Amino acid sequence: MSPTVPLLMRLSHSALPLGTARFGPFSIDIAAGERIAILGPSGAGKSTLLRLISGEYLTEVGERSLDEMPIQSFTPASLSHRLAVLPQSYPNTFDMPVRLVIELGRLGRASHDGLHEIVNQAAALARADHLLSRTTRNLSGGELARVHLARVFAQFWDVCNGLLLVDEPLAAFDPGLQTELFEKMSIFSRMRNHALVAVLHDVQLALQGFERLLMIKDGKLFADCPASREALPQLERLFGVRFLTHQVDDVLFLHTAGLVGYP
């Protein structure tokens, strides 16, 4: 890592109990501005790793630091200026105004100056501005996902060098909306130099839209490598499949060619 790039998060031999097994240990550095995809088979522990990074899970051993300070030393308000999480699912137990849900991203701010405009712009960026007059009742899964994406945008609207953690952020969207919202999330992060760490199932998107891959298998770090053609042998071993590739301009396209060891 270049000494000029701020270190945001460090996991040092961090592990936790997971049933009768042990999850980890993980030693991972995350720098400002990085785009990291977390990949692995179903049940490998991708979402668990994201929760470990976020501080949601207490570690059994090892250390976690944010801005070179123990993550447990942050208050919830101060942590909200440095770390934002977009979970995989969005509980919709209560009927809440959409605008209020997005405003929740601004909790912990000393001043609420410009709150109305920030919410409007965050909603527009997430393609949720047409929902601002509604409540969460009867929203579709895709609509609710856009509202929570807007909440995260609002949280980090005036923050630089933050850590944005997202778990399968595009699963609820159709292909066109997936492409549009991923581009907006990427541009939003680049403009503010946020590190973007995403749990994905889409290997194509991981190679095309990210710079670094964390591969997880059986609760352990299988590989930590650049997102490039050179990662394909490790990806084939990770998923137990063979990939065929072809390249158009600078884009590498993958096709699953069958299970490893089978014709």
Measured in whole angstroms, the distance separating CA 65 from the mean position of its chain's CA atoms is 18
7-82+159-259 belongs to CATH 3.40.50.300? yes
| Residue 40: predicted pLDDT | 96
CB atoms within 10 A of CB 134: 15
pLDDT at res. 259: 73
What 3-state DSSP class applies to 65? strand
pLDDT at 190: 95
pLDDT at residue 93, as a whole number = 64
Q: Are 195 and 164 within 8 A, CB to CB?
A: yes
Q: What is the pLDDT along the chain (263 residues), one digit of tens a residue?
A: 555 677 999 999 999 887 778 899 999 999 999 999 999 999 899 999 999 999 888 887 889 999 999 998 999 889 999 999 998 877 766 789 999 999 999 987 877 789 999 999 999 999 999 999 999 988 988 899 899 999 999 999 999 999 999 998 777 777 788 888 889 999 999 999 999 999 999 899 999 999 999 999 999 999 999 999 899 999 999 999 988 877 777 777 787 877 765 44
Q: Return d(Cα 211, Cα 218) in angstroms, integer.
A: 23
3-state secondary structure of 31: strand
* CATH 3.40.50.300 domain range(s) in the chain: 7-82+159-259
Predicted local distance difference test score (pLDDT) of residue 263: 45
β-pairing, 83-86 vs 195-199, is: unpaired
Task: State the number of CA atoms in the 13 A half-sphere of 222 facing the CB.
Answer: 22
C-beta of residue 7 within 8 angstroms of C-beta of residue 68: yes
Query: Which pLDDT score, from 0 to 100, does residue 253 have?
Result: 76
The C-alpha torsion from 233 through 235 and 241 to 246, rounded to 10°, is -70
User: What would the two tokens of residue 231 be?
Assistant: 């990662």
Which CB contacts under 8 angstroms, 24+ apart, belong to 115-122?
118/154, 118/157, 118/158, 119/150, 119/154, 121/157, 122/150, 122/151, 122/153, 122/154, 122/157
Beta bridge partners, 216, equal 221
